[in-house]
Structure 1
Amino acid sequence: MTRVTPELRALASRALDGVPEDMFSWTCLKERSKSATVWRAESSSGALVLKQHRHPRPFAQELRAYRDWLPRLDATRTADSPATRVARLLAFDAAARALALTAAPGERLSLGPSELVLSAHAAAGRFARALHSLPVADDDPLPLRDGVSARLDEWHARAAGLLSPSERDALQRLSDRRDAFAGVRRVPCHRDFTPDNWLLAGEDLHVLDFEHARLDAPEADLVKLRADVWPADPALEHAFLAGHGPLTGDAAARLDVLLALHAVATLAWAERHADPDFRALGRRALSAALASA
């Protein structure tokens, strides 16, 4: 198991206002050799979570989300609905690519149509809408439609040998809806927005893991739900959209295109890395996409 580095010990001490480094107890919550390691550090002064990234891009994306975007969401909460919360950034070490965050309470959501789970999905819908509504400049010189088109062409080429002729034809029909991206502005997105990254504490929903967060089409945050959550329980889709708001025709077309892109990208990645779990995930996404073709 990865050891707690001196940089993490120093960061924990700084995040909790100088608690001596030897006063913390450490628990490894997640260790991924290719992405990040997550620790929980506890002392008599409190607990915090430290996340150390292997690579600079996810660190920079998560830092921007916690530092620049998420503190501005407080004003979006309403008194008559469960709050959707996020951790607060306490400190960071850019050289070590590490973040110190407040510890989020709660448990992973279980699937099923219970009122509490449905309420959580509605809260997630409200959170997504609020995140996408943050006023952030889209300073990418490449129009979103052109960016999506380039990604479609690249991943369709990589996955071509993994698809039957009828599957390729159906996905091409979905890809032809790319004009729905014309004139659309990129917005802040989580980009891994699934119940795996939500914790339920009482009636409050806590959203975690912003390492993939960046500006994108707003429908990017609905793709994995559409691919791997909603087909098994349509009530969850209805609850989410009750909080988020209904999709316009153009938004639905953009979601179809991004779902096709997600399916082929996942299948191609799984083939390259010989990963059976991702291959199954790609096939589920493909099935959901074909249902929309």
Structure 2
Amino acid sequence: MFSWTCLKEHPKSATVWRAESPAGALVLKQHRHPRPFAQELRAYRDWLPRLDLTRTPDSPATSDLLHAPARVPRLLAFDAAARALALAVAPGERLSLGPSELVLSAHAAAGRFTRALHSLPIADDDPLPLSDAVSARLDEWHARAAGLLSPPERGALQRLAGRRDAFAGVRRVPCHRDFTPDNWLLAGQNLHVLDFEHARLDAPEADLVKLRADVWPADPALEHAFLAGHGPLTSDAAARLDVLLALHAVATLAWAERHADPDFRALGRRALAVALASA
């Protein structure tokens, strides 16, 4: 007996099925566009098999948290012509928020995962320095969102943009770039990280932006747990996170306006409020 269940279907991104047979189950993911397929394939094939998820170099002691490592699905096969991936099934449930010991431990595991991912020795071969790339993105998205912001908001964002000097000399590292609990599964004491379609080289703080915007403000204990696994942020890293959060806010607002999407508009406004609080 062979059966299919559609887990997700999005007209602009990907369709995901779970296939069941007497021999076992697998997940099939077919992308509609070549770039996210290529990014996810590179992550599963070239990056993730090289991760040491049992420990993170120089990570601080986390004796108050469970030490189970994060895990990722295994790539079973792929079809480049069809832009399709076959993946092992990741067990577990979506992570609910709250201050329980298990949820705190999951955030610590997520912190260790990002530290391990960012530590992979992948060459940054982009000829454009990261600081120049961030400056160009800031100028572009601030211009697109200018009509959506009040004069005080524009002034505060310009002050945040002044912290772009913290990107000088920073190299790009492998990043998930959609790193939120929506892409984590919790199975017992094990955290599984999913959905690498946005993965590419970027500033390491790119993986903290959505957590800072959407998760940590509601429960600072989750930020503490994550950083216990990840390691504390230096002053320069905190400045880069401020800049990237402001960039995320204006980009989300501009996208929401273009597509008349009220949910994304609300996301952008929440991210903007968090960014302005640090201006």
Note the C-alpha offset of 1:103: 0.2
1:45 maps to 2:28: no
Segments of structure 2 that go 5 or more residues without pairing to the other structure are 63-70
For normalisation by structure 2, the TM-score amounts to: 0.94
Give the Cα separation in 2 of the matches to 1:250 and 1:81: 19
1:164-205 deviation line (CA, Å, top 9, x unaligned): 000000011001100100000000000000000000000000
Q: How many residues align?
A: 271
Deviation larger for 27-36 or 83-92 = 83-92
1:258 maps to 2:236: no
Note the C-alpha offset of 1:218: 0.1
1:277 maps to 2:263: yes
Note the C-alpha offset of 1:217: 0.1
Q: Secondary structure at the match of 1:277?
A: helix
Q: Secondary structure at the match of 1:227?
A: helix
Note the C-alpha offset of 1:238: 0.4
Pairwise CA RMSD: 2.2
CA contact (8 A) 1:82 1:205 kept: no
Give the Cα separation in 2 of the matches to 1:200 and 1:184: 33
The aligned residue for residue 10 of structure 2 is: 32
For normalisation by structure 1, the TM-score amounts to: 0.90
1:7-29 deviation line (CA, Å, top 9, x unaligned): xxxxxxxxxxxxxxxx5210000
- Summarize the Cα distance change of 1:83–1:57 in structure 2 as closer, same or farther, 3 Å threshold: farther
The aligned residue for residue 210 of structure 1 is: 196
Segments of structure 1 that go 5 or more residues without pairing to the other structure are 1-22
CA contact (8 A) 2:59 2:229 kept: no
1:80-138 deviation line (CA, Å, top 9, x unaligned): 99999000000000000000000000000111000000000000000000000000000
1:30-76 deviation line (CA, Å, top 9, x unaligned): 00010000000011111000000000000000000000000011464
Note the C-alpha offset of 1:77: 4.0
- Summarize the Cα distance change of 1:68–1:220 in structure 2 as closer, same or farther, 3 Å threshold: same
Q: Secondary structure at the match of 2:53?
A: helix
Of 152, 174, 189, which aligns to 2:160? 174
CA contact (8 A) 1:82 1:123 kept: no
- Summarize the Cα distance change of 1:80–1:188 in structure 2 as closer, same or farther, 3 Å threshold: closer
Give the Cα separation in 1 of the matches to 2:2 and 2:247: 45
1:116-161 deviation line (CA, Å, top 9, x unaligned): 0000000000000000000000000000000000000000000000
Deviation larger for 250-259 or 83-92 = 83-92
1:67 maps to 2:45: yes
Q: Secondary structure at the match of 2:186?
A: strand
- Summarize the Cα distance change of 1:66–1:102 in structure 2 as closer, same or farther, 3 Å threshold: same
The aligned residue for residue 246 of structure 1 is: 232
- Summarize the Cα distance change of 1:76–1:142 in structure 2 as closer, same or farther, 3 Å threshold: farther
Give the Cα separation in 2 of the matches to 1:109 and 1:103: 17
Give the Cα separation in 1 of the matches to 2:160 and 2:222: 24
- Summarize the Cα distance change of 1:96–1:173 in structure 2 as closer, same or farther, 3 Å threshold: same
Give the Cα separation in 1 of the matches to 2:89 and 2:57: 23
1:132 maps to 2:118: yes
CA contact (8 A) 1:61 1:210 kept: yes
- Summarize the Cα distance change of 1:256–1:50 in structure 2 as closer, same or farther, 3 Å threshold: same
Give the Cα separation in 2 of the matches to 1:101 and 1:82: 33
Deviation larger for 100-109 or 68-77 = 68-77
- Summarize the Cα distance change of 1:75–1:239 in structure 2 as closer, same or farther, 3 Å threshold: closer
Q: Secondary structure at the match of 2:157?
A: helix
Query: Bigger radius of gyration, 1 or 2?
Result: 1
- Summarize the Cα distance change of 1:80–1:268 in structure 2 as closer, same or farther, 3 Å threshold: closer
- Summarize the Cα distance change of 1:48–1:204 in structure 2 as closer, same or farther, 3 Å threshold: same
CA contact (8 A) 2:56 2:116 kept: no
Give the Cα separation in 2 of the matches to 1:44 and 1:37: 23
The aligned residue for residue 80 of structure 2 is: 94
1:183-241 deviation line (CA, Å, top 9, x unaligned): 00000000000000000000000000000000000000000000000001000000000
Give the Cα separation in 2 of the matches to 1:31 and 1:83: 41
- Summarize the Cα distance change of 1:75–1:246 in structure 2 as closer, same or farther, 3 Å threshold: closer
CA contact (8 A) 1:83 1:204 kept: no
- Summarize the Cα distance change of 1:87–1:265 in structure 2 as closer, same or farther, 3 Å threshold: same
